[in-house]
Amino acid sequence: MHTGRLVFAQLMDFLPLSDFRRCVARYQGEYKVRGFSCLDQFLCLAFAQLTYRESLRDIETCLRAMQPKLYHLGIRGRVARSTLAGANETRDWRIAADFAQVLIGIAKPLYATEPFGVDLAATVYAFDATTIDLCWALFPWARFRQTKGAIKLHTLLNLRGSIPEFLYISEGKLSDVKALDVLIPLPGAYYVLDRGYVDFARLARLQPAGAFFVTRAKGNLQDARRDSHPVDKATGGRCDQTIVLTGPKTATLSPVPLRRIRYTDPESGKRLVFLTNDFTLSALTIAQLYKARWQVELFFKWIKQHLRIKAFYGTSANAVKTQVWIAVSVYVLVAIVKKRLGLPQSLYTILQVLSVTLFEKVPIQQALALMPDTTSEVEDCNQLSLFDR
């Protein structure tokens, strides 16, 4: 009989705790803290994410039921609802945010060669936002509408492995396009955006950085054709043109030429118009890049279904942001484990197995590797047309 460590403890071994301590020290997270450390807080909330706990009382009840095992989980402090609530309210959410970025930095090279449906060596990102509704009476700081509260998760998703490399949490009323102001372009990367991000002044900032964008044109676009290029109509392309903007404002905001591609989706017959500042890729590749943008929609759907980011353990902005960033950390941690252990199962299957084996004393490889993947990526079964946006 195996008498080794608990699965939860083995999972947490993949965390770079030295980096976590540096994040805590950076924001003085344990200033005047006696018994319940920042690591205890992180482990309790990670446990809540992995086992789908509904509330602080739920977390307290489950962990206290396993009191003799808490030391072996790595939790040294006494777990109490009030203590955990106080930690969520007062300990800087940037500790969790910075540590999530550390994990993202570990995961990125593991997925650097992951295919995403387009034969392109460059880094490709999808940038979009999703809204999480909140009760305005309980979350008055999360302004959205007159009688409704919400936050937005502005996410830059690396399409290789669906790793969120950038996450910005804002009030619900913040316009999606304004989140581009906090985005730092990566030279040579492609940014795929929907029509809600067509702001030529902001998109023009990608040009000096050597980055490229792919988006869809709005119906009221004012432009003049400067040149035409050959296009393979058998692939769905209709025209490939170099244009300049002629609108009274856009001509000044974006004086450089752009590329306009008209494309007809062979499956749905829908006609689409793409805009980009890249003149080297084929028209078909540009269309495929925009099609791959749907991965960010699937990412939002996945995390809302499988992580605790729609119901919160606290009502302050600090508690909400802490919970969201720890949820992202758990997502990325599972992605790291999947690669390092060479698991063929989906993240959904791995999370489901972990949720019922955290207190088992079996090798984590044995708990995860022998489980068949029966999901067949269940997230995709109701997928809409990739060009509906």
β-pair partners for 148: 145
pLDDT recorded at residue 386: 38
Q: How far apart are CA 35 and CA 26, in angstroms?
A: 20
β-pair partners for 192: 126, 214
Residue 78, both tokens: 């006494």
Which tens digit of pLDDT belongs to each residue from 22-43?
999 999 998 888 889 999 999 9
**pTM of the full structure:** 0.88
Q: Are 227 and 245 in contact (CB under 8 A)?
A: no
Domains of the chain, first to last: 7-97+313-380 (no CATH), 199-276 (2.20.25)
Listed residue (342, 347, 355) closest to 299, CA to CA: 347
Q: Strand, coil or helix: what is 129?
A: strand
β-pair partners for 20: none
Which tens digit of pLDDT belongs to each residue from 72-107?
888 988 899 999 999 999 999 999 999 999 999 999
Which tens digit of pLDDT belongs to each residue from 134-174?
998 899 999 898 888 999 999 999 999 889 999 999 999 99
pLDDT interval class at 1 (50, 70, 90)? very low
β-pair partners for 259: 242, 276
Residue 250 has pLDDT above 90, yes or no: no
For the purposes of burial, counting CB atoms within 10 Å of the CB of 310, is it exposed (0-12), middle (13-18) or buried (19 or more)?
exposed
Residue 247 is which amino acid?
A: G
- Locate tokens 């044995």: which residue? 366
pLDDT interval class at 373 (50, 70, 90)? low
Residue 86, both tokens: 């106080």
Residue 375 has pLDDT above 60, yes or no: no
Q: Are 7 and 367 in contact (CB under 8 A)?
A: yes
Residue 354 has pLDDT above 80, yes or no: yes
Q: How far apart are CA 95 and CA 199, in angstroms?
A: 33
Residue-wise over 207-219: b if at least 16 C-beta within 10 A, else e? eeeebbbbbbbee
pLDDT interval class at 389 (50, 70, 90)? very low
β-pair partners for 151: 132, 171
pLDDT recorded at residue 219: 85
Q: In degrees, to the nearest 5, what angle opens at C-alpha 341 toward C-alphas 115 and 337?
A: 80
pLDDT recorded at residue 145: 85
Residue 376 has pLDDT above 60, yes or no: no
Q: How far apart are CA 123 and CA 40, in angstroms?
A: 36
Q: Are 94 and 27 in contact (CB under 8 A)?
A: yes
Helix and strand numbers (H, E) in the chain are 14, 10
